[in-house]
Amino acid sequence: MITLNIQDETSKLLAVVLGTAEKNGSVPTAEAAYDPKSLEHILSGTYPNEDDMTQEMNAFETVLKKYGVTVYRPKIIPNLNQIFTRDIAFVINDVLVKSNILPDRENEIEAIQFVLSQINPKNIIEAPQDTHFEGGDVMLWNDFVFVGTYKGEDYPQQITARTNMKGVQFLKDLFPRKKIKEFDLNKSKTNARDNALHLDCCFQPVGKNHGIIHREGFSNQADYAFLTNLFGKENLFHIDKNEMYEMCSNVFSIDTNVVVSEQNFTRLNAWLEKQGFTVEKIPYAEIGKQEGLLRCSTLPLVRKS
């Protein structure tokens, strides 16, 4: 059995589900794109191929195993994109919450059923169908659960809006001892540089008191001010629109002092090393063409308390 335990984003990782790019299927049509960055690469003929993405994900797995992490990979379902396991579920404390994701992606959860079967059924929660959230919008930090959301009236038509206020309220009811803090994110269906697809596309904590942030990802600047006050502005690495577009905030922590990052994030990686982090640099730019990166392709199950 797997005893779930996730209290934060950065404690020593013991077990994780890492997605897979194998048998990923053909290049989607423009109409089938879930986000503006994927659409951009579909239209320009630069959408990533399976071999390149598989090599990148295998490099990630090698780093995880280097640090003794138990790595689960989804059962391969042909012609299904199974890279971004963060979207399909997330763990808070000892509870795994299944996400209500886009209907076209519902089979992704079936691919990790062999993992879910090793978890006590009492610790697996499903939400009502009109209650939306994805794991990229849910982030643990001490007593807080940060939740990215979208409050616009056009939520039903906004395909890049993945977590609604019913999802926020569901988490408040489910975890009454946690401080649930929502952040309204800027969305765009057409311009990836203006689109914070999830909270981890514009913010993520690293270590014990540092973080990476993109100010313009937040539609309410009071939310940005909240994070700068909580972490201290001097402890936050600010990224611009182009760096957000490249997914600079979407790194992944294996431990409080170990961060996996894309090898081309030279400015960020230099800053992380200056703060004392060990930075494991791997190629992940092809995965990034689908508006997700390292954190997006992981579903952490167990971290050391």
305 residues of the chain, pLDDT tens digit each: 999 999 999 999 999 999 999 998 778 787 777 777 877 777 888 888 899 999 999 999 999 999 999 999 999 999 998 999 999 999 999 999 999 876 767 789 999 999 999 999 999 999 998 899 999 999 999 999 999 997 867 666 666 668 889 999 999 999 999 999 999 998 787 777 877 789 999 999 999 999 999 999 999 999 999 999 999 999 999 999 999 999 999 999 999 999 999 999 999 999 999 999 999 999 999 999 888 899 999 999 999 98
Domain 13-303 has CATH 3.75.10.10: yes
Task: Provide the pLDDT for residue 106.
Answer: 76
Q: Looking at residue 281, what DSSP letter applies? A: E
Distance, in Å, from the CA atom of 12 to the CA atom of 4, rounded to the nearest integer, reads 14
Q: Measure Cα distances from 304 to 4, 123, 219, 274, 299 in Å.
A: 10, 18, 34, 25, 15
Distance, in Å, from the CA atom of 70 to the CA atom of 75, rounded to the nearest integer, reads 16
Task: Provide the pLDDT for residue 234.
Answer: 97
pTM, whole model, 2 decimals?
Answer: 0.94
